[in-house]
Amino acid sequence: MKQAMIFAAGIGTRLKPITDSMPKALVKVGGQPLIYHVIMKLRAAGFERVVVNVHHFADQIITYLAENDNFGLDIRISDERERLLETGGGIKKALALFDAGSQILIHNVDILSNVDLSAFYEVAGDNDATLLVSRRKTKRYLLFDETVRLRGWTNVETGEVIMDCERGAIRRDELDMLAFSGIHVVSPSVFSCFEEMPERFGIMEFYLKWCGKFRFQGYLKDDLKMIDVGKLDMLDQAEKFVAGS
């Protein structure tokens, strides 16, 4: 079964004042909510089951999906209204809603891209997790070795570095800095590891904790076109992106 999770629980602080009255997932781009664009992309790629986590204005998202008959998909809600669990905690809570034998594609609701999700899902099958990355400029980077295997993380603004020390000494300057896209695939081989994490945590905490034991692979797409619709000033670019796609 091809299955995916859409992160739609965020408060959308950077999209205020729009998100004072609606969830980020329902902010419109090209005449349709962000969540519509992600669902349509997943459906076109052959995904059958989609779990959507909700928190901020959760009822609006649930109603929107119901009014559209879940777009013909098996869409399930992971309810985080009591407490926002961050990205890692969100996956941990949602695992019970998935087929335990199939990998899960994770997609942020505010990401628009030219990625072939079906091909990416297939490529990810040989790894414990696969992270879509690019060479775009950002403040926080993932660090990969010559085989594009995850070895650490850095914030170039603060100078903070977190390294995988379980596979032997390696110098920071031997690693490649790549930017994470908010799209990744998690394999059943690591599902049990989520139980050893707290209730609330970020997915990068998970990847950095376990990258010494498991193969977390970067998938570098040099021609990646991506819009992160997380800020008000990105809405115009997102409109153009959707119009041109």
Tens digits of residue pLDDT in 11-45: 999 999 999 999 999 999 999 999 999 999 999 99
73-86 residue pLDDT tens: 999 999 999 999 99
CB of 16 within 8 A of CB of 60?
A: no
Query: What is the per-residue pLDDT for 126?
Result: 84
Beta strand pairing call for 3-7 and 49-54: parallel
Query: What is the per-residue pLDDT for 174?
Result: 78
Residue 240 has pLDDT above 70, yes or no: yes
The amino acid that residue 40 corresponds to is: M
112-155 residue pLDDT tens: 999 999 999 999 988 999 999 999 889 999 999 999 999 999 99
Cα–Cα distance measured from residue 166 to residue 212, given in angstroms and rounded to the nearest whole number:
5
Record the tokens describing residue 228, joined without a space. 């992160």
Which run of H or E residues covers position 240? helix 235-244
182-226 residue pLDDT tens: 999 999 999 999 999 999 999 999 999 999 999 999 999 878 899
11-20 residue pLDDT tens: 999 999 999 9
Cα–Cα distance measured from residue 154 to residue 105, given in angstroms and rounded to the nearest whole number:
24
Query: What is the per-residue pLDDT for 215?
Result: 95
49-62 residue pLDDT tens: 999 999 999 999 99
Report the candidate in 159, 156, 154 with the shortest Cα–Cα distance to residue 143: 154
Three-state DSSP state, 100 = coil
Record the tokens describing residue 133, joined without a space. 């990355």
φ and ψ of 151, to 5 deg: -130, -10
Cα–Cα distance measured from residue 187 to residue 216, given in angstroms and rounded to the nearest whole number:
10
Query: What is the per-residue pLDDT for 171?
Result: 63
The amino acid that residue 185 corresponds to is: V
Query: What is the per-residue pLDDT for 221?
Result: 84
Which burial class, exposed, middle or buried, applies to 59 when counting CB atoms under 10 A from its CB (0-12, 13-18, 19+)?
exposed
Three-state DSSP state, 65 = helix
